[in-house]
Amino acid sequence: MTRPLSVALAGLGTVGGGVLDMLQKNADIVAARAGRPIAITAVSARDRNRDRGLSLDGLRWFDDPVALAHDPAIDVIVEVIGGSDGPARRLVEAALAAGKPVVTANKALLAVHGAELAALSEKHNVTLAFEAAVAGGIPVIKALREGLAGNRISRVAGILNGTCNYILTVMRERGREFADVLADAQKLGYAEADPAFDIDGIDAAHKLAILAALAFGRPVAFDAVHVEGIRHISAVDIAFATELGYRIKLLGIARQTEAGIAARVHPCMVPQASPIARVDGVFNAVVAEGDFVGRVMLEGRGAGAGPTASAVVADLIDIARGRATPVWGAGSGALSSVPSVGMEAHLGAYYLRLMVVDRPGVIADVTAALRDEGVSMGSMLQRGRSPGEAVPVVIVTHETRESAMRRAIARITELETVLETPAMIRIEAA
């Protein structure tokens, strides 16, 4: 065997610890698969003296992660600092410019600065690998970029945020409200102290932007992703979803339409019988639809030390073996320039729940607003009668243009007998 691949690890949080652990525990397997041993030889983190429960014996310490990029004894950089800017970005840029391959788990960095990083990677002919950035240990980057590479992909969709999926699963199983379940998830470590990034859909949108770029062979376009989170999902809507034969999931969906690529992250009602509806708890899943392969689904743990380390180590093995792929699947000159299309052009069915005063004429006003905006109703559900009091009314539309739906909702919201902002959830065939 040749000499070990010498790896520098920048970031010693959960993921960094997992990578150290895996390379030690599975050193035999890794060396067999990589054709040579892979060893962490240098580390960098913010605080040298913090007790992380990790042995750093024999590893060189760097206070400045960017200095790793210039150390001649280091072959590859693993960046697990996180964040779209700051030291993570500086390190990755410096490493690529210095001709050192980089493995990163940083979805924000890839989603926001992926175009420039791909250019750097191409210019210096050096690998930038990021399997760990999307869906943890599920090899979905490899599947899209290599395994399904010959297909014209029409749609890629997934449950991309385990925190949201966990919260929605517990809300449904226990009939509890969002805020309660979030608080519990924070105590259990399934949600961050500042959960906005997860529950507002930003994290899922970063991952979707990456998947869409790979699926459609075009530069990453995070700003074009429509993003909504799960804060406004209430127990009553989850109960209605069950009654109607649906599950509510936060999905990221990118689709090739006639006008261009539509990419969106928002809560969806998906049929209970669809495979993705059954992916519960902290699990992630990605579905890709190709013209030759048909529908392929990959499912597994989307986060945590072990699954993320699994993806980072797979990337290191690829680098050790000399297996390389352009960042977005094709060289810059061969990427597609298909445009993005906005959410107002979305066409689909909608679930609408209103809280209305239970009195004659209310439904007539609501249905008139829908009719005036050209929204065709599929069905209506009304539960319980309490004359003069607030009752929920659920409407499911036929296929409708988003722009028409928004106008209709604005009109309905103005009705005096409609007591809250209507709850709107898009229905997805999944």
Per CB under 8 A, residues contacting its own copies are 18, 22-23, 25-26, 29-35, 131, 136-139, 142-143, 145-152, 217, 275, 278, 290-301, 306-307, 309-311, 313-314, 316-318, 321-326, 329-331, 334-336
List the catalytic residue out of 100, 107, 142, 207. Answer: 207
What are the backbone angles phi and psi of residue 357, rounded to the nearest 5°?
-75, 130
- Token pair, residue 429, equals 């065939």
Q: Residue 137 Cβ, how far from its own copies at the closest point, in Å?
A: 4
| C-alpha–C-alpha distance, residues 67 and 60, integer Å | 12
| C-alpha–C-alpha distance, residues 373 and 354, integer Å | 17
CB nearer to its own copies: pick between 287 and 423: 287
Q: Which of 287, 273, 255, 274 is nearest to 159 (CA)?
A: 287
CB nearer to its own copies: pick between 331 and 339: 331
CA dist list (Å): 285 to 134, 215, 359: 10, 15, 45
Listed in order, strand segments (DSSP E) in 279-362 are 283-290, 294-301, 340-341, 347-357
- Counting Cα atoms < 13 Å in the Cβ hemisphere of 113 gives 16
CB nearer to its own copies: pick between 250 and 335: 335
Q: Which of 22, 18, 16 is nearest to 42 (CA)?
A: 16
CB nearer to its own copies: pick between 275 and 374: 275
Q: Residue 144 Cβ, how far from its own copies at the closest point, in Å?
A: 9
CB nearer to its own copies: pick between 173 and 291: 291
CB nearer to its own copies: pick between 97 and 297: 297
Q: Which of 16, 8, 198, 219 is nearest to 118 (CA)?
A: 219
CA dist list (Å): 197 to 171, 229, 280: 20, 9, 20
Q: Residue 176 Cβ, how far from its own copies at the closest point, in Å?
A: 22
Q: Name the residue with tokens 């600065």.
A: 113
Q: Residue 162 Cβ, how far from its own copies at the closest point, in Å?
A: 12
Q: Residue 228 Cβ, how far from its own copies at the closest point, in Å?
A: 28
Q: Name the residue with tokens 């869906």.
A: 135
- Token pair, residue 53, equals 């429960």
Q: Residue 293 Cβ, how far from its own copies at the closest point, in Å?
A: 4
CB nearer to its own copies: pick between 252 and 329: 329
Q: Name the residue with tokens 């010959």.
A: 150
| C-alpha–C-alpha distance, residues 193 and 353, integer Å | 31
Q: Name the residue with tokens 């928004």.
A: 406
Q: Residue 269 Cβ, how far from its own copies at the closest point, in Å?
A: 19
Per the annotation, the verdict on 107 as an active-site residue is no
Query: Angle CA(202)–CA(205)–CA(209) in degrees, nearest 5?
Result: 145
Residues assigned a catalytic role: 207
